[in-house]
Structure 1
Amino acid sequence: MKKFFKYSLLTFFIITFLVTAVFFVYIYKLSSELPSIKELKSFTYKQPSIILDAKNRTIAEIGTERRYPVPLSDVPEYLKNAVVAVEDSRFYEHGGVDFLGIVRAFIKNIRAGRIVEGGSTLTQQLVKVLYLTPERKLKRKVKEAILAYKLDNYLTKDKILEMYLNQVYFGRGAYGVEAAARVYFGKHVSELSIDEAALIAGLPKAPGLYAPHINPEKALKRRNHVLYRMFEEGYINELQYKELSEKPIEIVPKAPKMIKHAEYFVDFVTQYIKKKYELDIKDKGYKIFTTLNLDFQLAAEKSVRQNLLNLSKRQGYFGPLGNLADIKYEKLKKKYFYINELGFDFAVVKKVDRFKVILDIDGEIGELNLKYNKWAKPYGSRLRYLDDFRKILRENDVILVKKSKNKLYLTQIPQTEGALLSISPENGSIFAMVGGFSYNRSMFNRVVQAKRQVGSLFKPIVYSAAIEKGYNINTLIYDAPVILSKGKDKGYWKPENFEEEFYGFTTLKEALTHSRNVVTIKLAERLGVDTIKAYAEKFGITSPLENDLSISIGSGSISLMEMVYAYSTFANLGMRVQPYFVKMVVDNNGEILVEEVPHDKIEVLKPSTAHIMSDILINVVENGTGRRAKVIPRIIGGKTGTTNEYRDAWFIGVMPNIVTGVWTGFDDFKPIGRLETGSRAALPAFVSFTKAIVDYLPFKEFPVSSDVTYYKVDLNTHKITDSYSTEFSFEPFFDNSSKESIEIQ
């Protein structure tokens, strides 16, 4: 018997030793697979990078997780207490793993016959979020315990709690307590009351289940449980517990979305930083300081959008989004998800007759009246106005409507696109950038990525070259039919004016003011194509140009950005600015990663030439194709551009402290519509934008050249005169140049 006992005891010790050895080998092996806790010394939270405008206002948050890390000192004591009370009451006593808590939870779960309490500590929960997957396996739990033990021995309790409060998910898109305070209560975490803190503390266990906007009753029960645990742990007294438990939950009805303005500009900036500096700013918590003016940007977006909506009404009704016989309603709503940002509503046609349409708008009945929707003639038809709803709609069509003053109006998403760029001619700062009707519809940035024929927008480059080559503002060129060779074996070309008329002898000023094609081509022929291309290059045009005279009237395809910066020359006495939009990039430790300053200006023209050209461009607005801009109470120079068959419409306006360009057209190069010129399809967006922002701009005169003098010119003879008995105007001339009126046939 003794021998048997002896062998049994020995066997027991051997087995125990082997099991222990295997256990420690297993632990050692798992430990070697785990990440180093020391990495936490340089730990950075995943948080959105913030793009700021020139006044340090947030333009956009770039990231996948809404998180705003705060130091533990900014977190109210009662929120810390609430989290500890409900999640890990022995947090300040255990070493990362609470064995007593595990035993207690095990007993409670056995008694309840189900899992009612977990044994994970705050440290274990943090480890799981930082390093591990949420899978429920023993191996993962062991890894979690090892890491929690290591973490507890490496960081202080306060640091662990701070990391937990900033890292875990609280529902409604909020990561960390600061984001949770904002999305649920619309305030900072430091401003939370005790009952609000208790609600937030109860969320990490099951954010979807206890979310007050989803399950208000369960949220209330969970909050009160947290309050009771705070009472049990001595953080609040019984009276506080009872009073706070009676309070209703009041949250903000809708969680604010991550800020997202100026999406084309933001995309432009992020791509620029990534390409030039190899920095990916997403989720890094960087601050990117830019030159954008948010007030200008919002005005620009509104102006481009409204201009395109107005244009789409002139074009006619393109038709419904679809018909429920062919496509599911939810599929259509998903496809056109961005209509919410436009203030439109989906509607289903229930009944159509000549004068009215009965609609179902998300369960509500509405009515369209023909009297208020006559613009909706079928697209491409010869009708002036719609005279019968049945020509455009049928039952079960899905359409868009807009509510205004208790009436419903048929509307549509424009098929044309538009772009706007506004810059400072003083240092090249970008004030506003709109790359299209809606970034959610198309991310293609038409300011920088689109190359379109510019039409008459190119002419000021030709006239600048002419003035520098000795022609003056009064040079006369004979406007008459001309036939030109397109080049060897390319046939012939007979250019015409927009009006399909010819005007005889025309001064350079008149020709540019009224955008005469034939005069411009004759002038270009005298100058030579090589000269024009050389000046285009000086103006910053890098897009390739054809080697023929057609470039003088804008046959070249050029970006809006190139043209706007080219026009900055006329506001700067011949000096061209270069794009400047990123001022600084700072990381979340305050270290400057990128710092830029405006580029040096580039000399393009003599100051005297630029002075004379700005005078002509001002006349374009006063008396020519840019007259619509006269409503703006400032001195403005500008030029319209319209391409063949009305495929592109342009306008660039020049003021001493801002230059703004607008483009309108179809992406697939279809004609915009008859008579949809630059002055009709692009200029209104410029006017709307400039009227909205002009009061932000200090009044400033165009700069003048000391080498230019104004002389009185007889409007009939185009010669300098002293007589007051004739019609005259004061015109600018170089001081040391001929003032004679040169005639060119």
Structure 2
Amino acid sequence: ETAFIAALPKAPNNYNPARHPQAAKARRDWVLAGMAETGALTPEQAKAAMAEPLAVHFRDPEGEPPGYFLEEVRRELVARFGEKVVYEGGLTVRTSYTRSYQDIADKAFREGLVAYDRRHGWRGAITHLPNAASAQNALSGIADPPGTAGWQLAAVTAVEPSAAHIVLKKGGQGRISVNELRWARKTLDDQRLGAGIGRVSEVLQPGDIVLVEPVAAAAPAGRRGAPQPSAQYALRQIPDISGGLVVLDPKTGRVFAMVGGWSFQQSQFNRATQAKRQPGSAFKPFVFATALENGFSPYSVVEDAPISIPQGPGQTPWEPVNYEGSYVGETTLSDALVHSRNLVTARLAVSVGLPAIAKTVQNFDVMDKMPLYYSMSLGAGETTLLRLTSAYAMIDNGGHWLLPSVVDSVQDRQGRVIYQKGVKDCAACFVAAAPAAGAAADPAYKVTGAPPPGSLAVQNARFIENAVLYKPTKPDPLISDTSDRELIAMMQGVVERGTGTAVAAVGKPLAGKTGTTSDWFDAWFVGFSPDLAAGVYVGFDDPRTLGTGEVGGHVAAPIFRDFMMAALKNVPAKPFPEAPSASAAVATNVLRGAPNGTDEDQTASLSPPDADTLTPRGVARDGRQRGTPLPNDSAARPDQGQNPYWAPVPRAYSAPYPGTYGSTTYPPPYAPYSAPRSYGSPGGYPGYPTTSQRDYDTPGGYPPAQGAGYPAPGWRPGRGTGGLY
């Protein structure tokens, strides 16, 4: 075997033992003869070795290798050590890859994309040749498309009203019945569907080259001389939509599985780590976390009704709407997250202020710098699936910061550990060589000296001589334990009775949030059990609509559900820590959101209180004003001129509106409302930093608030979506 391996480098393909066994054996014997000439073997040993057959042992097929995960390992190693060390340093690398989770993730993701793709029809054959004979002759020379898995290439040889006859590239014949083509209505613009299918000829023609999958074996032969029934096949097509799925440990940040697209062979672009997309309402938990940290409770009352937020002199106010285009009036904070109410989220952004939200977002590492625009509160910024899933994992673990990683440890050729992720009592720490003199410091970490004794995770090894411990500089915890448990309970409600009820079928405690961007461009679901976090993103590489009504709860949530159902199948149900408000929920005044016996005359305030009209004693625990006049309905307050980040004054309420919320006209201070407004992410227009821009000249690290921070109507046509969901 060693002699054969030594023979391979000259021409690996020419000496492939499966394809060219005689040439491979001859080359092996040549090496053995050379070893005898040099004295490495005796002539007798060489003769005995040459007499042995060249045995080839094939491993059982394991499906497509985890290309996205392996490439992410390579990228992380190169970023940390450089290409020369990675390719020439003789490193031993241990990763967090978990085969069982990866297999489940691959299956759930592919099935989810296929289910979506079939809902939106047939885009046509792979290619079409003039007639059945030419298609059949060309079939053997047509390369299999990447990512076909168990599907096969076939040529359509004949078409009947009720079935199409096919010849397979791998040999054999079969038929596709019209019932297997009902889904294959023509795909129209904006993912709409053409007319229903009545005849096979409306989908397939002789000469088509298509992908098929067996659905039933050929029936047993009948009496002698009777025609042999054909095997049954179903028509398949590779989805043109893509996305990603990430699975990680919420306690350590170890990434167990990663899917970056339909197939790594098809595209090496990793949509889980490299694609920056708008998360939509999957961003909202961080707005609500900020509110909980600033005095609100799950039962605080906030108005779900139209709001107009000034953007500056001469600029059109920002007027978000709910996905449904309607609103419910007074509602609790918990209900607003469960049902993903945009208007409540916008009010919270005004109340707590954009800088506070930006601090939360950056502490959880969702974004490097959150631009201070109110549309950010509805997920109009950009992030990656891995970053958002990691941030959810931090919510899951009690608010402790994580470093998501695919590499556990690295040893050099001498066996010394030159990198280790995590030490005892600090999962986010890592051990590595001390930074070189003059090297740029990583603001997320600080050096704290030698690694503690007993922290080595690799047996029979030692750290490199100059190893030091790196600790994160983030606050710990990122949010209070009370706020964290309340937020998890609210996110459980999303699964149990809100926009993510598709996930409830798992039957075990889960929490999460759906996300959909304007015009159904992106669909998300990110969630977790107490011990496992996962995130799913689905969208087109060239952003366009997924189709009317294709929200995160319908597209991404079923993928998350299928993954969790298999991953947790044999895992006992484990509850989340109980939220502090759980025991007091039955004693809640639903109208006002205050526990019985407390000040029931409180009213929700949606702007910062004036320092000269409100004392600290006048602020309730949930952040609402007590008996203080609400600010006038003006475009700006005098003190706003001194603070460019002060939240603009909203159209505030002093009492519940007595009229009918179904009306389309409102008394002041509401602006007229007629239909859902178009809005989306800030794009390439004045005042908005580019995606790659990270440094800002303004004090405090934030760009100045811009009045022209929103695209003009028509930038992304509304089509009635009502914004982010």
Fold shared, TM-score > 0.5 on shorter chain: yes
Superposition deviation, residue 285 in structure 1: 5.6
Q: Could you say if the C-alpha distance between residues 516 and 711 of structure 1 is closer, same or farther in structure 2, counting changes exceeding 3 Å?
A: closer
Code of the residue aligned with 2:552 in structure 1: it is: G
Between the two structures, name the one with larger relative contact order (CA 8 Å, sep ≥ 6): 2
Pick from 173, 178, 184 the counterpart of residue 365 of structure 1.
173
Paired position in structure 1 for 2:69: 265
Contact 2:212 2:236 in 1 (8 A): yes
Task: Kindly state the Cα deviation for residue 595 of structure 1 after the two structures are TM-superposed.
Answer: 3.1
Question: Could you tell me which of 439, 444, 447 is aligned with 2:272?
Answer: 447
Secondary structure of the equivalent of 2:586? strand
1:629: Cα distance to partner? 1.4
| Secondary structure of 1:395's aligned partner | coil
1:684 aligned residue: 558
Amino acid at match of 2:186: P
**Alpha-carbon displacement from aligned partner over 1:482-509 (angstroms, at most 9, x marks no partner):** 3334545542443221122211111100
Alpha-carbon separation, structure 1, partners of 2:82 and 2:23:
49
Alignment of 1:656-671 (within 5 A): 656-671=530-545
CA contact (8 A) 1:172 1:255 kept: no
Q: Which residue of 2 aligns with 1:198?
A: none
- CA apart distance, 1:215: 5.6
Given the alignment, which residue of 482, 492, 497 partners 1:608? 482
Q: What is the rounded CA distance, in whole Å, between the counterparts of 1:518 and 1:494 in structure 2?
A: 9
Deviates more, 1:708-717 or 1:459-468: 708-717
Q: How is 1:648-659 mapped onto 2 (pairs within 5 angstroms)?
A: 648-659=522-533
Structure 1 Cα separation of the partners of residues 153 and 541 of structure 2: 25
Q: Pick from 218, 223, 245: which aligns with 1:420?
A: 245
The one-letter amino acid paired with 1:273 is L
Query: Which residue is equivalent to 2:109?
Result: 304
User: How far apart are the structure 1 equivalents of 2:121 and 2:301?
Assistant: 43
| Range that drifts further, 645-654 or 629-638 | 629-638
Tell me what 1:168 maps to: 7
Question: Which residue number in structure 2 is paired with residue 352 of structure 1?
Answer: 159
SS at structure 1 position matched to 2:285:
helix
Aligned length: 530
Taking a change above 3 Å as real, the CA distance of residues 319 and 580 of structure 1, as seen in their structure-2 partners, is same
8 Å contact kept, 1:402–1:409: yes
1:387 to 194, 198, 216: 198
Shift of 1:524: 1.1
Q: Report the secondary structure of 1:596's partner residue.
A: strand
RMSD of aligned residue pairs (Cα, Å)? 4.0
Q: Partners in 1 of 2:76 and 2:302 — Cα distance?
A: 46
AA of the residue aligned to 1:640 = T
Matched, 1:720 2:531: no
Q: Which amino acid aligns with 2:198?
A: D
- What is the letter of the counterpart of residue 344 of structure 1? W
Shift in Å, 1:478: 1.8
Answer whether contact 2:7 2:27 (CA < 8 A) is retained. no
**2:333 matched residue in structure 1:** 508
Question: How far is the alpha carbon of 1:165 from its aligned partner?
Answer: 6.7
Cα offsets for 1:254-273 (capped at 9, x unmatched): 57789973211111111111
Partner of 1:733: none
2:94 corresponds to 1:289? yes
- Alignment of 1:316 with 2:121, yes or no, is yes
> How far, CA to CA, are the matches of 2:390 and 2:44 in structure 1?
68
Q: Aligned partners of 1:222, 1:534: CA distance in 2, in Å?
A: 65
Show CA shifts across 1:23-52 (max 9, x none): xxxxxxxxxxxxxxxxxxxxxxxxxxxxxx
Structure 2 spans left out of the alignment, 5+ residues: 37-41, 218-231, 430-471, 598-618, 627-651, 654-725
For 1:527, give the aligned amino acid. V
| 1:577 equivalent in structure 2 | 402
Cα distance in 2 for residues equivalent to 1:675 and 1:399: 29
Tell which deviates more after alignment, 552-561 or 353-362. 353-362
Structure-1 residue corresponding to 2:683: none
Q: Structure 1 residues 612 and 544 mapped into 2: Cα distance closer, same or farther (>3 Å)?
A: same
**What does residue range 388-403 of structure 1 map to in structure 2 within 5 Å?**
388-403=199-214
Q: For residue 218 of structure 1, report the CA deviation from its aligned partner.
A: 11
Cα deviation, 1:141-182, whole Å, max 9, x if unaligned, reads xxxxxxxxxxxxxxxxxxxxx8x67633299959xxxxxxxx
Distance 1:277 1:489 in 2: 52
Asked if structure 1 preserves the Cα contact closer than 8 Å seen for 2:118 and 2:184, the reply is yes
Between the aligned partners of 2:414 and 2:623, the Cα distance in structure 1 is 67
Contact 1:570 1:654 in 2 (8 A): no
1:599 and 2:428 aligned: yes
Residues 1:410 and 2:235 aligned together: yes
The answer on whether the counterparts of 2:181 and 2:200 sit within 8 Å (CA) in structure 1 is no
C-alpha displacement at 1:586, in angstroms?
2.9
Contact kept, 8 Å, 1:458 with 1:553, in 2: the verdict is yes
Partners of 1:254 and 1:518 in 2: how far apart? 60
CA contact (8 A) 2:243 2:271 kept: yes
Q: Distance in 2 between matches of 1:445 and 1:375?
A: 30
The answer (yes or no) to whether the contact 1:719–1:741 under 8 Å persists in 2 is no
Give 1:611 shift: 1.0
Once the two structures are TM-superposed, the CA of residue 332 in structure 1 deviates from its matched residue by 10
Do structure 1's residue 541 and structure 2's residue 366 form an aligned pair? yes
Name which of 352, 356, 363 aligns with 1:527: 352
How far residue 665 of structure 1 moved from its aligned partner, in angstroms, is 0.5
For residues 330-361 of structure 1, the C-alpha deviation after alignment (integer angstroms, 9 at most, x for no partner) is 79976654245x11111122223443222221
> What is the Cα deviation at residue 396 of structure 1?
1.5
1:558 and 2:397 equivalent?
no
How far did residue 388 of structure 1 move?
A: 2.9
Amino acid paired to 1:373: L
On the 8 A contact 2:589/2:595 being kept in 1, the answer is no
Distance 1:564 1:347 in 2: 40
Structure 1 residues 18-97: aligned runs within 5 Å: none
SS of residue matched to 1:338: coil
The separation in 1 between residues aligned to 2:93 and 2:546, in whole angstroms, is 38
Q: Deviations over 1:591-627 (max 9, x none)?
A: 4443332424743111111111011011111111111
For 2:258 and 2:283, the matched residues in 1 are separated by 21
- Tell me how far 1:711 sits from its aligned partner: 4.2
Rg comparison, structure with higher value: 1
> Shift of residue 372 of structure 1?
2.2
- Does the residue aligned with 1:400 lie in a helix, a strand or coil? strand
Quote how far apart the aligned CAs of 1:377 are.
Answer: 0.9
Change (3 A) 1:713 1:378: farther
Q: Is the 8 A contact 2:144 2:153 kept in 1?
A: no
Q: How far 1:302 sits from its partner (Å)?
A: 1.3
* d(CA) in 2 for partners of 1:575, 1:259: 36
1:720 maps to amino acid? P
**For each residue in 1:461-495, what CA deviation from the matched residue of structure 2 results, as whole angstroms up to 9, or x when unmatched?**
11111111111211112222233345455424432
Deviation at 1:373, TM superposition (A): 2.2
CA drift of 1:325 comes to: 4.9
Q: Secondary structure at the match of 1:580?
A: coil
> How far apart, CA to CA, are the structure 2 residues paired with 1:370 and 1:715?
59
Q: Report the equivalent of 2:343.
A: 518
- Pick closer, same or farther for the CA change 1:169–1:587 going to 2, 3 Å: farther
The residue aligned with 1:108 is none
**Given the superposition, is the C-alpha separation of residues 334 and 271 from structure 1 closer, same or farther in structure 2, using an over 3 Å criterion?**
farther
**Kept in 2: contact 1:378–1:386 (CA 8 A):** no
Whole-Å Cα distance in 2 between the matches of residues 212 and 479 of structure 1? 68
Q: Which one-letter code corresponds to 1:315 in the other structure?
A: H
Inter-CA distance 470–165: structure 2 relative to 1 (3 Å threshold): same
Which residue does the alignment assign to 1:135? none
Change (3 A) 1:214 1:258: farther
